[in-house]
Chains A and B, each alone.
Chain A
């Protein structure tokens, strides 16, 4: 046992957009993660609990939830780190429609990646030679900064601008757009910059840095968004957009 506590008081959101927290008692284990707690509830206490997970090791990005008011990946969040006074309040991610209990509908989140042209567009075929990109080049480094995004939705859930402006593309989609904007092989640069410009795009970001603070991969979408803002203003002033 850790901290001398034998059980955790766990409140879990039950329902969809309307619903209520239900309280459970879960045995405290050493090195227990928040996902372990949710899994215990579903397997031992209430099999009707809906939640989503796959890899359990911080690779797939499907188990993100709001834990004591903060969006986190639950598989890599130890209970000891977040359970103040042995209590946990687990809710679905914010800014996304709730399907049931802890499972949100991520369609809108991924649709915005598509809207932001978050898809690589190349001009070469498999018969062409490999592109040569120097690892120390500025653009390659900018790609490295955010390439490890796993699309968990933690940044989107933490973003106040998304809350106020539901058509805002959000930090993950914009960060992806910035990664591709720095991909020297990509040939849809102008179209992408146009897709992420303006009031519903990168220019809506308030630089609150919630996304940067919460990203479990240590990525700074804010930095990427700032890069997009500069690149788009420059392209606009040159008459390219």
Chain B
């Protein structure tokens, strides 16, 4: 991977971290709010089903995770000596898997 791409990956990880900070705070506040009268699947689905806003919010959350996590894992692997094109491709697969699983979960509660 060329230096320019390495720098852009670093930038993408920082930008996604900023997004994640907001997403995690909103998510935690929602959890605290949601469990105030006990937690039930019905209550959660009542809030999320048909909600474009929650759908968009969690889609953005999933996108931020899919960008952030593989770059971090790539850095960790590099420090254990695992580097190169093979690892980069594996990280791309990890990113796509996270997107797929994440969006599937979002669709399950929104649709």
Q: Is the interface of A mostly helix, strand, loop or mixed?
A: helix
Q: Which of B4-12, B22-30, B51-59, B98-106 contacts A (4 or more CB under 8 A)?
A: B4-12
**Residue in B closest to A166 when the chains form the complex, CB atoms:** B81
A198 with B11: CB separation less than 8 A: no
CB distance from B79 to the nearest CB of A (A): 4
A198 with B79: CB separation less than 8 A: no
Instruction: Determine which residue in B8, B10, B11 has the highest number of CB atoms from chain A within 10 A of its CB, and name it.
Output: B10
B79 with A236: CB separation less than 8 A: no
Question: Cβ of B14: which chain A residues have Cβ within 8 Å of it?
Answer: 233
Cα separation A50 to B79 with both chains bound (whole Å)? 33
CB distance from A16 to the nearest CB of B (A): 24
**Residue in A closest to B8 when the chains form the complex, CB atoms:** A236
Question: How many chain-B residues does the 8 Å CB contact rule pick out?
Answer: 14
Question: How many chain-A residues does the 8 Å CB contact rule pick out?
Answer: 16
In the complex, B37 has a CB within 8 A of chain A: no
In the complex, A63 has a CB within 8 A of chain B: no
Q: Is the interface of B mostly helix, strand, loop or mixed?
A: helix
Binding site for B on A (CB under 8 A): 161, 164-165, 194, 197-199, 201, 203-204, 229, 232-233, 236-237, 241
In the A-B complex, the 8 residue pairs with the smallest Cβ-Cβ separation, listed nearest first, are: A198-B6, A164-B79, A198-B3, A203-B10, A236-B7, A233-B11, A199-B6, A197-B3
Which residues from 43 to 96 on chain B have a C-beta closer than 8 Å to any C-beta of chain A?
75, 78-80, 83
Cα separation A203 to B1 with both chains bound (whole Å)? 14
Question: Cβ of A161: which chain B residues have Cβ within 8 Å of it?
Answer: 79
Which residues from 12 to 41 on chain B have a C-beta closer than 8 Å to any C-beta of chain A?
14
A241 with B7: CB separation less than 8 A: yes
Instruction: Determine which residue in B1, B8, B79, B80 has the highest number of CB atoms from chain A within 10 A of its CB, and name it.
Output: B79
Cα separation A237 to B8 with both chains bound (whole Å)? 8
Question: Cβ of A199: which chain B residues have Cβ within 8 Å of it?
Answer: 1, 6, 78, 83
A-B contact pairs, 22 of them (CB 8 A): A161-B79, A164-B79, A165-B78, A165-B79, A194-B3, A197-B4, A197-B7, A198-B3, A198-B7, A199-B1, A199-B6, A199-B83, A201-B3, A229-B10, A232-B7, A233-B10, A233-B11, A233-B14, A236-B4, A236-B7, A237-B11, A241-B7
